[in-house]
């Protein structure tokens, strides 16, 4: 389901981060929320398109060049005592790099997280748009981001659970391909597969499909499906088929 920006939150880590961070390192940091945010500018990676024409060129050649991680602005209704705004003002006075986090309000259900965007960069500003009598007093900060944005999609907070066992579709004849049907799961997991011959794992048979071989003759086939999400994993095994002919 598509969502709007309503409810989006902005955070900054007050400890400078001089080196490139991965997802787990970003997640382990302590952040301060910036309150009274009215707008967040464009973020994400923009890559230059480089072109070159030779004497014989009929259509311009193009290739990707240098990428810019983005320079989004953060517009706030000025609050002199808000810890997040205080942190932005302090960061704006330095030449150091800081981790930032944007969090959408788009969790698909009560048991899932929101989308989170991580990045790291300079903070400049604030500038003040000023205005007329009834305009709010605003401050605008600009982030000079220096690494590729990391986007973490919503994940379940509840480990997967199987409510309808996996099953197998296909013809039980040597050379035919069987397909694993995962069954019904909660927790929106990803799946891994292990095919079995008379209850014993078949080496290398870990795809969603399995092609029957001579060694399967007169044997029963089953498949174990493991569902995994950010909260854990669980395994369910299909009923065994009749013997392969």
Identify the pLDDT of residue 145: 97
Same domain, 201 and 218: yes
Q: In whole angstroms, give the CA distance from residue 86 to residue 199.
A: 62
In a domain, 226, yes or no: yes
Nearest to 110 by CA among 75, 167, 154, 68: 154
Same domain, 197 and 91: no
Residue with token string 């973020």: 43
Average pLDDT of the chain to the nearest whole number: 95
Mind listing the pLDDT tens digit for each residue in 226-236?
999 888 999 99
Note down the domain range covering 111. Answer: 9-47+59-152
Same domain, 136 and 17: yes
Indicate the Cα dihedral angle 6, 39, 126, 144, nearest 10°: 100
Same domain, 30 and 118: yes
Structural domains in the chain (count): 2
Same domain, 43 and 113: yes
Identify the pLDDT of residue 188: 83
Number of H helices, E strands in the chain: 2, 19
Quote the strand ranges of the chain, DSSP E.
Answer: 9-12, 32-34, 37-40, 46-52, 61-68, 73-77, 98-103, 116-127, 138-145, 150-152, 161-164, 167-169, 177-181, 184-186, 190-197, 200-201, 209-211, 221-229, 232-237
CATH of the domain at 79: 4.10.410
Mind listing the pLDDT tens digit for each residue in 197-207?
999 999 999 99
In 208-220, which positions are buried (b, 16+ CB within 10 angstroms) versus exposed (e)?
A: eebebeeebeebb
Same domain, 175 and 219: yes
In a domain, 54, yes or no: no
In a domain, 245, yes or no: no
In a domain, 80, yes or no: yes
Q: Six-digit token pair at 150?
A: 């990391």
Ranges of residues in the chain whose predicted pLDDT is under 70: none
Same domain, 99 and 14: yes
Same domain, 70 and 99: yes
Identify the pLDDT of residue 2: 85
In a domain, 111, yes or no: yes
In a domain, 52, yes or no: no
Same domain, 30 and 121: yes
Last residue within a domain, chosen from 117, 152, 187: 152
In a domain, 243, yes or no: no
Same domain, 170 and 98: no
Same domain, 103 and 20: yes
Max Cα–Cα distance, the chain, nearest Å:
87
Is residue 219 within 8 A of residue 236, CB to CB? The reply is no
Identify the pLDDT of residue 230: 81
For the beta carbon of residue 87, count every other beta carbon within 10 angstroms: 20
| Whether the model pTM is above 0.95 | no
In a domain, 3, yes or no: no
Same domain, 121 and 229: no
CATH of the domain at 199: 2.60.40.2700
């Amino acid at each position: 389901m598509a969502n709007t920006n309503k409810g989006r939150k902005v955070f900054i880590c007050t400890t400078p981060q001089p080196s490139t961070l991965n997802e787990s390192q970003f997640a382990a940091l302590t952040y301060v929320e910036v309150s009274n945010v009215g707008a967040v500018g464009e973020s994400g990676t923009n890559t230059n398109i480089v072109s070159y024409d030779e004497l014989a060129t009929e259509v311009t050649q193009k290739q990707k060049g240098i990428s810019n991680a983005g320079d989004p602005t953060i517009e706030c209704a000025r609050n002199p005592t808000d810890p997040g705004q205080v942190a932005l003002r302090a960061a704006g006075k330095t030449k150091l790099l800081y981790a930032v986090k944007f969090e959408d309000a788009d969790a698909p259900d009560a048991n899932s997280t929101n989308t989170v965007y991580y990045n790291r960069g300079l903070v400049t500003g604030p500038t003040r748009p000023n205005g007329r009598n009834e305009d709010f007093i605003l401050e605008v900060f600009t982030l000079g981001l220096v690494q590729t944005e990391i986007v973490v999609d919503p994940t379940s907070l509840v480990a997967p659970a199987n409510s309808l066992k996996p099953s197998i579709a296909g013809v039980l004849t040597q050379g035919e391909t069987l397909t694993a049907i995962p069954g019904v799961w909660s927790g929106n997991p990803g799946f891994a597969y292990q095919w079995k011959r008379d209850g014993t794992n078949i080496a290398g048979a870990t795809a969603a499909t399995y092609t029957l071989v001579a060694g399967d003759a007169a044997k029963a086939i089953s498949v174990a499906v493991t569902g995994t999400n950010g909260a854990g994993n669980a395994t369910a095994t299909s009923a065994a088929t009749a013997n392969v002919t």
